[in-house]
Amino acid sequence: MRRLSWFNATSLTLGFAFLYLPMVVLVVYSFNANKLVTVWAGFSTRWYGELFRNEAFLDAAWVTLRVALVSSTLATILGTAAAYVLVRGGRFFGRTLFSGMLYAPLVMPDVILGLSLLLLFISIGLDRGMITIILAHTTFSMAYVAVVVTSRLVAFDHSLEEAARDLGCNRWDAFRLVTLPIIAPAVISGWLLGFTLSLDDLVIASFTSGPSSTTLPIKIFSAVRLGVSPEINALSAILIGIVTVGVITTSLMSKRAIAKRIRDENRAET
Amino acid sequence: MAEKPRKPKPITDLFAPWTDPDAKPLIEFRSVTKKFGDFTAIDDLTLDIYEKEFFALLGPSGCGKTTMMRMLAGFESPTEGEILLGGKNMVGIPPNERPVNMMFQSYALFPHLSVWDNIAFGLKRDKMPGDKIATRVEEMLRLTRLEQFARRKPHQISGGQRQRVALARSLAKAPKLLLLDEPLGALDRKLREETQFELMDIQEKTGTTFVIVTHDQEEAMTVASRIAVMDHGKIIQVDTPAQVYEMPNSVYVADFIGDVNLIEGTATRTGPDLCEIRFHEGEPPITAEVTSEISDGQTVTYAIRPEKIRVSRDQPEDRSNVAFGKIIDIGYLGNVSTYHVELADGQMVKAAMTNATRVARRDFTWEDEVWLSWRESAGVVLTQ
């Protein structure tokens, strides 16, 4: 390993501090025994215990998880279908308009998206609850999935599908047996993206949620308005832990897959 | 397999169903036209291809050869006309319902499946029982010498092996017709030559009709029983490789296939099948055999291959055509040398001589004055 120059070392330290210091503080204080968040009174896991006895938080977490699972799955199906039609459907009437409109939720401010969905749900008389959050999240996640899957489909060799058809597949079988397995990584990352966005979303969920269904971000936000409690710190620390494990696992997996592929290809040519 | 020398092929092929008026063609293109918007890719084309043929569609890129292949596979359908396979009109039948398989230029191997599963893919679609699939796949692996790679994924094998997997996969369903789209384009020269002989061998073993698309005239000449030379959506000539080379019907074909000298002049009939071509004042006219109808004074192009012309230091007595000139350039290719000779009037003529002996010093060098000579049957008189 090359030694870092003092300039590089300093900028690296500053950069990391800027990014991660707030989180480190949060995690450290989640183990604080004191009820006052900012006064350190020794190590304790007390707040984690309290958190798991707090029904309201657990309910909200459960709702969030279900919303995220269902909406990201729906968004993946719709987004993949949209991407497939846009890339493979050839030129059809309204294609440009459709592809432009598909990306609109990416640039639309959340407040406007949330408000318009709220107005829609009210005007069609749909009671706000988990269903409306799921619908709302599906709407914007779908756009993200479509973007991710489109980029993979564009790079995809069209003759693979033709080969499948040539060997006896109808269009659906060709998609199911050849296209889908090959674009699976993009579909999965689209799903993960939708899942994270849904977990994360506060603005749209607060427009579309009802009194019976509160998601975790809404719960945390409203709890913090009454004052930061150590329980919130503990909850946030858990969330950080989950995300960290997830990110590290996926990056290790993809790194290993790439390394294996390069090794295989080198071996194949010799 | 690749090392085995090719059987000498007589000019009159024993296998020549196209000369038999009773033979029923496997594929019939009947005045087929294909347009993409304003662009006419195939222009009112009629063509018969017979069973067990190794048929080559040859032409520069954009000549419509790939479109013809894609229409046979079912990926495109003709704008006008019909395409018959075994007497049945194929227009409108999707690719998955045709007894036709295709080997793609990019090979299009399924990257997520092993070599074995790639070959079995088409058989599984036919709902063939498992043990029969296994037998057939093993057979294909043996045919293409891929037994030890069956469990590998496409990215774990070399380019040449991938090419053989693609071939095995397209042959597995025992199609009536196999289409090969530039099948050897991605291989290096040495491997390509080996593979050409392998392809011919496999074609003979399986008895399948092969239609190959290529822009490489040497490849077409090597593998094909007949070649269709195409240009701008039309077929210019369909014939055996030897016929296409020795008896081109047009300047385009003569120029596209191999190396050729094209000399323009005016023809005068001098005998029942002889004519004289005057191409320049002061040069003696060329005496040439002629089979087509020509009228006196007609402008014709005389096409003669470089290897038909002899280069000598002394004026030869035994040849009907002689010309005197100076060597401007020599292209040394090892087995042959091509001499670029300038005649007195500035006309350049290429002559190729085999380097039969191993000598450090060649007979001719730059600026040497030499005699060129050839027989009256050596060249072809072309009117179009």
Looking at the DSSP assignment, which residues form a beta bridge with residue B271?
A: B274
Domain A53-227 of CATH type 2.40.40.20: no
A185 at the B interface (CB within 8 A)?
A: no
Q: Which residue in B106, B125, B173 is closest to A169 by CB distance?
A: B125
Are A164 and B173 in contact (CB < 8 Å)?
no
Residue B11 has pLDDT above 60, yes or no: no
Q: Which residue in A168, A265, A267 is closest to B126 by CB distance?
A: A168
Instruction: Give the integer Cα–Cα distance in Å for A138 and A191.
Output: 11
- Amino acid identity, residue B213? V
Closest CA to B170 of B118, B222, B131: B118
- CATH 3.40.50.300 residue ranges for chain B: 24-253
Pick the CATH number of B24-253 from 3.40.50.460, 3.30.870.10, 3.40.50.300, 2.40.50.140: 3.40.50.300
What residues in chain A have per-residue pLDDT under 50? none
Domain boundaries of chain A, sorted by first residue: 53-227, 229-270
Distance of residue A248 Cα from the nearest chain B Cα, in angstroms: 25
A156 at the B interface (CB within 8 A)?
A: no
What is the pLDDT confidence band of residue B5, given thresholds at 50, 70 and 90?
low
What pLDDT score was predicted for residue A211?
A: 82
Residue B2 has pLDDT above 50, yes or no: no
This model of the complex carries an ipTM of 0.82
Looking at the DSSP assignment, which residues form a beta bridge with residue B340?
A: B329, B350
What pLDDT score was predicted for residue B271?
A: 83
Are B157 and A268 in contact (CB < 8 Å)?
yes
Cα dihedral angle (B343, B349, B350, B356), rounded to 10 degrees? -50
The average pLDDT across B262-277 equals 88
The average pLDDT across B248-257 equals 93
Q: Mean pLDDT of all residues in chain B?
A: 89
Q: Which residue in A162, A168, A181 is closest to B122 by CB distance?
A: A168
Q: Which of residues 32-61 of A touch B (CB under 8 A)?
A: none
Are B75 and A162 in contact (CB < 8 Å)?
yes
Are A268 and B104 in contact (CB < 8 Å)?
no
Instruction: Give the integer Cα–Cα distance in Å for A209 and A217.
Output: 12
What is the pLDDT confidence band of residue B361, given thresholds at 50, 70 and 90?
low
What pLDDT score was predicted for residue A99?
A: 83
Identify the residue among A159, A160, A165, A167 best suited for mutation to test binding to B, counting B beta carbons within 10 A and taking the highest: A167
Which residues of B are less than 8 Å from A155 in CB distance? Answer: none
- Whole-model pTM? 0.81
Tell me whether residue A240 is exposed, middle or buried, using C-beta atoms within 10 angstroms of its C-beta: 0 to 12, 13 to 18, 19 or more. Answer: middle
Distance of residue A258 Cα from the nearest chain B Cα, in angstroms: 12
In CATH, the number for domain B259-382 is 2.40.50.140
Residue B344 has pLDDT above 80, yes or no: yes
Give all strands of the β-sheet with B27-36 in edge-to-edge order. Answer: B39-49, B27-36, B80-85, B88-89
What pLDDT score was predicted for residue A12?
A: 93
- Amino acid identity, residue B234? K
Burial code of B243-272, b = ≥16 C-beta within 10 A, e = fewer? bbbbebbbbbbbebbbebbebebebeeeee
* B15 vs B129: which has the higher pLDDT: B129
Between the alpha carbon of residue B101 and those of residues B72, B181, B322, B374, the distances in Å are 9, 11, 53, 47
- CATH 2.40.50.140 residue ranges for chain B: 259-382
Q: What is the 3-state secondary structure (H, E, C) of A132-172?
A: HHHHHHHHHHHHHHHHHHHHHHHCCCHHHHHHHHHCCCCHH
Residue B359 has pLDDT above 80, yes or no: no
Distance of residue B110 Cα from the nearest chain A Cα, in angstroms: 7
Q: What share of chain B is helix, strand, coil (3-state, %, to 5)?
A: 25, 35, 40
Q: Which residue in B75, B96, B152 is closest to A170 by CB distance?
A: B96
Residue B1 has pLDDT above 50, yes or no: no
Give all strands of the β-sheet with B261-271 in edge-to-edge order. Answer: B286-289, B274-278, B261-271, B299-304, B380-382
Residue A229 and residue A36 in contact, taking contact as beta carbons nearer than 8 Å: no
